[in-house]
Homo-oligomer: A and B are copies of this chain.
Amino acid sequence: MKTDTVLLEHGSGGMLTNRLIREMFVGSFSNEHLDRMDDAAVVRVGEGRLCFTTDSFVVDPIFFPGGDIGSLAVHGTVNDIAACAGRPLFLSAGFIIEEGFAMEELARIVDSMARASREAGVKVVTGDTKVVPKGSADKIFITTSGIGVVEYASEVSPSAIREGDAVLISGPVGDHGAAILSTRSDLGMRTRILSDSAPLGGMVQEVLRTGDAVHFMRDPTRGGLAAVLAEAAHAAGLTFEIDEQAVPVREGVRGLCEITGMDPLYLACEGRMVVICEGSGAPGILEIMRSHPLGRDAAIIGRVTRKGTRGRVVLWTIAGGSREVDLPEGELVPRIC
| Residues in chain B near residue A97, CB distance under 8 A | 6, 10-11
Q: Known: A56-B95, A103-B5. Is A24-B110 also a contact (CB below 8 A)? A: yes
| Residues in chain B near residue A127, CB distance under 8 A | 21, 25, 29, 34, 54
Interface size of A in residues (CB-CB distance below 8 Å): 82
Q: Chain B CB within 10 Å — which of A6, A40, A138 has the most?
A: A6
- Name the CB-closest residue of B to A134: B8
**B33→A131 contact, CB < 8 A:** no
Within 8 A of B (CB), among A177-203: none
Cβ-neighbour of A96 out of B38, B40, B96, B117 (below 8 A) = B96
| Residues in chain B near residue A128, CB distance under 8 A | 54-56, 143
Report A197 CB to chain B, min CB distance, Å.
17
Report A56 CB to chain B, min CB distance, Å.
4
**B29→A123 contact, CB < 8 A:** yes
**B125→A41 contact, CB < 8 A:** yes
Within 8 A of B (CB), among A48-70: 48, 50, 52-58, 60
Interface residue? A102 (CB, 8 A):
yes
| Residues in chain B near residue A319, CB distance under 8 A | none
**B54→A131 contact, CB < 8 A:** no
Residues in A lying within 8 Å of B, measured CB to CB: 3-11, 17, 20-21, 24-25, 28-29, 31, 33-34, 38-41, 43, 45-48, 50, 52-58, 60, 89-90, 92-104, 106-107, 110-111, 113-114, 117, 123-133, 135-138, 141, 143, 145, 147, 149, 331, 334-335
User: What are 11 A-to-B residue pairs whose CB atoms are below 8 Å?
Assistant: A4-B102, A4-B103, A5-B103, A11-B129, A28-B113, A43-B90, A46-B47, A54-B143, A56-B94, A132-B334, A133-B334
